[in-house]
Amino acid sequence: MVDFLQGWLLRLAPYPVLVLVLTSLLAIFFWVPTDAGLGLSQRIFYYHVPAATSCFIAFAGGGIGSAMYLYTRKPLWDHAAHAFVSVGMLFATIVLVTGSIWARTAWGTWWTWDSRLTTFLLLWLVYASYLLLRTLSRDNEMGPRYAAVLCIVGALNVPLVMLATRLFRTIHPQVINNPQGGISDPRMVTTLMLSMGAEILLMLWLWALCVSTLRLGERVELLSEESYRRSVPS
């Protein structure tokens, strides 16, 4: 299944990704009307929210890949999970940076210990420790399994983190499904959908590329081991 998905993504995704990313950027900068209350700074929202969605999809994929790896013990699932966490981290970093920039203009501060922000930061830290664990246990054949366990437990922990951080107050805007305020102009909705599609597809394409890199890396390692074995007379 990973093979199938990855193969088709590599073949088909690049063109729609290019078109969607460009049109969504054009829409964000030139077409969508400026928000009445927040002004220009609100435009970063079309980049921030899809990045968050993409990163959640990627982390969910990482959890599924890890569970499948422990179940089947096939390295391909491990590569899938590893690649998902890597691209998820990229998008999570984008979310934190764009959110921070927006918060500076809207709230007057780069960071605040709000429930959603804290949840996100902790999520980022858990997956950072996942990548760290992968790097540090590269020469241990148990490494992928440790990482898979961390990825599953980390994903199961998310609801608790949300519950815990809510013990503090929250000021993060609730935009989608909010009866008062929120986005209402159809052009805003279209732009959001457009950049949502662009970023999710971009994330999947990057994932497919990342999986091929990991597979290549594994082959290189196997080949170099073999050449080493041949060069040393036993």
Partner 1 sequence: MLALIWKDIVLEARTRETLPTLLVLGVLVLVVFYFSLALRPQDIDRTAAGILWIGIVFASVLALGRSFVIERDNGCIEGLLISPIDRGSIFLGKLAVNVILLLAFETLLVPMFALLFGVDLMANLPGLVLVLVAGTVGLAAAGTLFALAALGTRAREMVLPLLVLPLQVPLLIAAVQATEMVLGGASVTSLGARGTLLAAFDVLFVTSGWLLFEFVLVD
Binding site for partner 1 (CB under 8 A): 70, 122, 125-126, 129, 132-133, 136-137, 139-140, 142-143, 145-146, 148-150, 152-154, 156-157, 160-161, 163-167
Evaluate whether 126 touches 89 at the Cβ level (below 8 Å).
no
- Round to whole Å and give the CA distance between 79 and 85: 10
Six-digit token pair at 164?
């815990």
Rank residues 46 and 130 by Cβ distance to partner 1 and give the closer one: 130
Rank residues 38 and 67 by Cβ distance to partner 1 and give the closer one: 67
Angle between helices 115-136 and 45-72 (to 10 degrees): 40
Question: For 105, what's the count of Cα atoms within 13 Å in the CB-facing half-sphere?
Answer: 13
Shortest distance (Å) from residue 3 CB to partner 1: 24
- Round to whole Å and give the CA distance between 47 and 99: 10
Shortest distance (Å) from residue 150 CB to partner 1: 6
Shortest distance (Å) from residue 70 CB to partner 1: 5
Shortest distance (Å) from residue 143 CB to partner 1: 7
Residue 212 CA to its chain's centroid (Å): 18
Rank residues 165 and 191 by Cβ distance to partner 1 and give the closer one: 165
What residue type is assigned to position 89 of the chain?
Answer: M
Rank residues 102 and 120 by Cβ distance to partner 1 and give the closer one: 120
Rank residues 163 and 220 by Cβ distance to partner 1 and give the closer one: 163
Shortest distance (Å) from residue 148 CB to partner 1: 7
In angstroms, what CA-CA distances link 173 with 36, 64, 92, 176, 177?
A: 15, 30, 18, 9, 11
